[in-house]
Amino acid sequence: MKLKHILPIFLMLSGLLACTPENTPGSHSDPEMDSFIAELMGKMTLEEKIGQINLVSVGFDVTGPRVSEDVEEKIVNGQVGAVFNTYTPVAVRKLQELAISKSRLGIPLLFAFDVVHGHRTIFPVPLGLAASWDMELIEKSARIAAEEASAEGLNWTFSPMVDITRDPRWGRICEGSGEDAWYGSRVAEAMVRGYQGEDLAAQNTVMACIKHFALYGGAMSGRDYSTVDMSLLKMTEDYMPPYKAAVEAGAGSVMTSFNDINGVPATANRWLLTELLREQWGFEGFVVTDYTAVEELIPFGVAKDVRDAARLSLEAGVDMDMVSEIMVDHIGVLIEEQIVDPQLVDEACRRVLEAKYKLGLFEDPYRYADEQRGRDIPLSKDYRNAAMEIATRSMVLLKNENEILPLKREGSIALIGPLASSRRDVIGNWSGGGRAADAVSVEEGMRKLLGKDVVIHTAKGANITNDTLLLYKLNAHGGRLDYLDPAKLLKEALRAARKSDVILAVVGESQGMSGESASRSHIGIPQSQLDLLKALKKTGKPLVIVLMNGRPLTLEWENEHADAILETWFAGTEAGNAIARVLYGESNPSGKLTATFPRNIGQIPIFYNHKNIGRPYGGDMLDKFKSQYLDVSNEPLFPFGFGLSYTTFSYGELQLSSTELGKSGSLSISVEVSNTGSYTGEEVVQLYVQDLVASVTRPVKELKAYQKISLSPGEARELTFTLSPDDLRFYNTQLEYISEPGAFKVYVGTNSRDVQEAGFELVW
Ligand code: NOJ
């Protein structure tokens, strides 16, 4: 008989079947679950309830400033509800057994991990995944991640990260989908669907966690953990939608962010966690803090001590304390002293137990600790194939002069750069259970694809950076970067370059240069590598740059001097194979940027959907009193939605079904897109709108739809988009989501800059 069935009988026999009013679950729940949890909570002591809201970190991965102690003893004492940073069926079973057979009530534990872009099979970092504009593949990557993670004992992932950001200095831009709230919402939904599937209790699904709630990507100066200050209008329109979309997609949990919002840290922000998230959006899962965020209310200066911090976060709507252990240590006393309402603990505990119930853990606490699955599932051939397909489709071709790409399978190449032979860097940061040993470097991918067809001369050419302080920091944070004599490295590189037909320079950031606590104030390729590129350019050989990085970079020199630039992000386990295939034309790149690449750091924040203003720049640099710089244009280097292909596409004129759109009507926008080049290729056809006159200032363009299509050479296809008045709604100053009649423009094109346009009127 399963625990789920035994437990109520045990409780009934012991006369402890109680459903006190404070336990009464909300009407949303399923009655069987409600009565099961009410019965269980009726049996629990206050300490045991508080134990359920305690999340400890144990194991081989350290993802914050501190690790938890005496975990096994705490599990036995019923002081732990969930564990993270450990996995494998054996490790999970061991701790789960302690909870089931040694703790008084045998309540199963949740097991969490940062499965962010794959678990054992690693996919491109999320910014790369987003660049695929392929929701089916993005969902598939999360599905595979869930299959692998659940086979290794996990039932909860701290993903998706849905923070919108417009600041590439912020290292965590690589963990999200970029700058656009509408697009980010689509990605958020796909990820939640992928992780949670149809049935959270299935053996191959894991619970998602929406993070970081909220506005973490708005960190001032792009510096991680710094303050966020923005208007309600801006946050509602430009930052909140992906969190809301992920809630609506049914994500089971939400993680608070490290920043403050309107002066109140997210972890103590009742408006955010209770009024907005629960009352307005109807979120029914549980809220976990980020790492030690309860404790951090003290340095924030909003809590005077740990007791205050515990009270503030519980009262705000936090249901689980990650690593601080402040709740478990202090809430009981605060309740005894009648400072904290015990009902709050009941609610938090109930929400955590509901998640466990939905995951099927009361039926079978070992459901996710199946050793056979642990052996069979991870890194299967199918998953690696999927990783390769997704990686190829995430790459963005930024430049391709004289069609130098795809390369010909003949002659010789110089494969140069500190990232050319790296297996560790290609899997990126937050690479979960991924192992460098399983990954394919660019050099390996090239050799495998090319065999004896092409002679490959390799050289490292430069250190990732010659900045010794930066190197020291990166290594202190777990990197393995060495420092070799730059002059010697350069000499070897030039020798390799001179005897080759083409130079392939694999340069950019090491994986530790983006991600958490990896903000940069200069976002170019580090100087050591730029010097290398400049020296290589002087050889006169064609120069192809293969970029690896987790953020938009400033690439003015590179764009001016390289013959081609391929953005590969950190492309995952199959990176090397995927990059080789793209370079040699086995796959035609089709990725498009979802974050603007600035010309220089002074342009930041720079994003496509900026507002109309009173003195817009009209293209005349000498028109003094216009919004522009003296020393750089307003244009980014590569706009949102940008990406080339080996083929070319042409767009016909836009055809609108009408010049008017009625209140309950719809408007069709058609355009013919043709492949005018000589390769089969995919194009992401993007549709933007602009509200020309409204009661509040509106963006110059807003993405509202896109279609990704494949066309063979000479093929043309008519595409139709449909707009309804709903697509034209916006938030007014009262934060009401409204429509206003009036003139609009619609734009369709290959990126947010190069578009065809037409006008129409919203009428009623
Ligand atoms: C801190 C990070 O901000 C968060 O994204 C992550 O999930 C937790 N650490 C747990 O590792």
- Over residues 588-604, the pLDDT tens digits come to 999 999 999 999 999 99
CB neighbour list of residue 695: distance below 8 Å, 6 or more residues apart: 732, 733, 740
Q: Tally Cβ neighbours within 10 Å of residue 653.
A: 10
Ligand 1 center from residue 440 Cα (angstroms): 27
The residue whose CA is least distant from atom 7 of ligand 1 is: 158
Pick the CATH number of 401-603 from 3.40.50.2300, 1.10.10.10, 3.40.50.1700, 3.20.20.140: 3.40.50.1700
User: What is the model's pLDDT at position 503?
Assistant: 98
- Over residues 420-451, the pLDDT tens digits come to 999 999 999 999 899 999 999 999 999 999 99
Annotated active-site residue 485? The verdict is: no
Q: Is 114 in the pocket of ligand 1 (CB under 6 A)?
A: yes
Ligand 1 center from residue 161 Cα (angstroms): 10
User: What is the model's pLDDT at position 335?
Assistant: 98
Ligand 1 center from residue 410 Cα (angstroms): 47
In 437-579, where do the E strands start and end? 455-459, 502-508, 543-548, 564-567
- Over residues 215-234, the pLDDT tens digits come to 999 999 999 999 999 999 99
Q: Is 172 in the pocket of ligand 1 (CB under 6 A)?
A: no
With the most atoms of ligand 1 within 8 angstroms of its CB, the residue from 162, 174, 290, 320 to mutate is 290
Is pLDDT at 10 greater than 50 in this prediction? no
The residue whose CA is least distant from atom 1 of ligand 1 is: 291
Confidence at 26, pLDDT banded by 50, 70, 90: very low
Catalytic residue among 290, 319, 370, 727: 290
The residue whose CA is least distant from atom 4 of ligand 1 is: 290
Q: For residues 430 and 114, give the distance between their C-alpha atoms in angstroms, rounded to a whole number.
A: 7
* Domain 401-603 identical in fold to domain 649-762: no
> Does residue 616 have a cis peptide bond before it, meaning omega lies within 30 degrees of 0?
no
Q: Are 679 and 647 contacting, i.e. CB atoms less than 8 angstroms apart? A: yes
Ligand 1 center from residue 290 Cα (angstroms): 6
Q: Is 290 in the pocket of ligand 1 (CB under 6 A)?
A: yes
With the most atoms of ligand 1 within 8 angstroms of its CB, the residue from 68, 175, 255, 429 to mutate is 255
User: What is the model's pLDDT at position 14?
Assistant: 37
Where in the chain are the domains?
Answer: 30-374, 401-603, 649-762
**CATH class of the domain at 30-374:** alpha beta
Is pLDDT at 2 greater than 90 in this prediction? no
Q: Is 291 in the pocket of ligand 1 (CB under 6 A)?
A: yes
Ligand 1 center from residue 515 Cα (angstroms): 10
Q: For residues 392 and 583, give the distance between their C-alpha atoms in angstroms, rounded to a whole number.
A: 10
With the most atoms of ligand 1 within 8 angstroms of its CB, the residue from 291, 295, 324, 431 to mutate is 291
User: What is the model's pLDDT at position 29?
Assistant: 66
Q: Is 213 in the pocket of ligand 1 (CB under 6 A)?
A: no
User: What is the model's pLDDT at position 399?
Assistant: 98
Mean pLDDT across the chain, nearest whole number? 95
CATH 2.60.40.10 fits 649-762, yes or no: yes
Is pLDDT at 18 greater than 70 in this prediction? no
Ligand 1 center from residue 277 Cα (angstroms): 20
Ligand 1 center from residue 211 Cα (angstroms): 9
User: What is the model's pLDDT at position 67?
Assistant: 84
Q: Is 63 in the pocket of ligand 1 (CB under 6 A)?
A: yes
With the most atoms of ligand 1 within 8 angstroms of its CB, the residue from 61, 85, 158 to mutate is 158
User: Which among 760, 516, 641 has a CA at the least distance from the CA of 182?
Assistant: 641
Q: Is 296 in the pocket of ligand 1 (CB under 6 A)?
A: no
Q: Which residue has the higher pLDDT, 482 or 282?
A: 282
Ligand 1 center from residue 431 Cα (angstroms): 13
DSSP state of 122: P
Q: Is 64 in the pocket of ligand 1 (CB under 6 A)?
A: yes
Q: Which residue has the higher pLDDT, 5 or 557?
A: 557
- Over residues 236-282, the pLDDT tens digits come to 999 999 999 999 999 999 999 999 999 999 999 999 999 999 999 99
The closest-lying atom of ligand 1 relative to the alpha carbon of residue 159 is 7
Confidence at 7, pLDDT banded by 50, 70, 90: very low
Q: What is the pairing mode between strands 396-400 and 264-265?
A: unpaired
Q: Are 109 and 101 contacting, i.e. CB atoms less than 8 angstroms apart? A: no
Is pLDDT at 4 greater than 70 in this prediction? no
Confidence at 28, pLDDT banded by 50, 70, 90: low
Q: Which of 9-13, 120-124, 187-191 has the lowest average pLDDT?
A: 9-13
- Interhelix angle 135-151/381-394, nearest 10 degrees: 140
Is pLDDT at 20 greater than 60 in this prediction? no
Ligand 1 center from residue 165 Cα (angstroms): 17
Q: Are 412 and 455 contacting, i.e. CB atoms less than 8 angstroms apart? A: yes
The model carries a pTM of 0.95
The closest-lying atom of ligand 1 relative to the alpha carbon of residue 212 is 5
Calculate what percentage of the chain has a pLDDT beyond 70: 96
Cα–chain center distance at 614: 35
The closest-lying atom of ligand 1 relative to the alpha carbon of residue 161 is 5
- Over residues 309-360, the pLDDT tens digits come to 999 999 999 999 999 999 999 999 999 999 999 999 999 999 999 999 999 9
CB neighbour list of residue 385: distance below 8 Å, 6 or more residues apart: none
Q: Are 125 and 428 contacting, i.e. CB atoms less than 8 angstroms apart? A: yes
With the most atoms of ligand 1 within 8 angstroms of its CB, the residue from 63, 162, 165, 431 to mutate is 63
The residue whose CA is least distant from atom 11 of ligand 1 is: 63
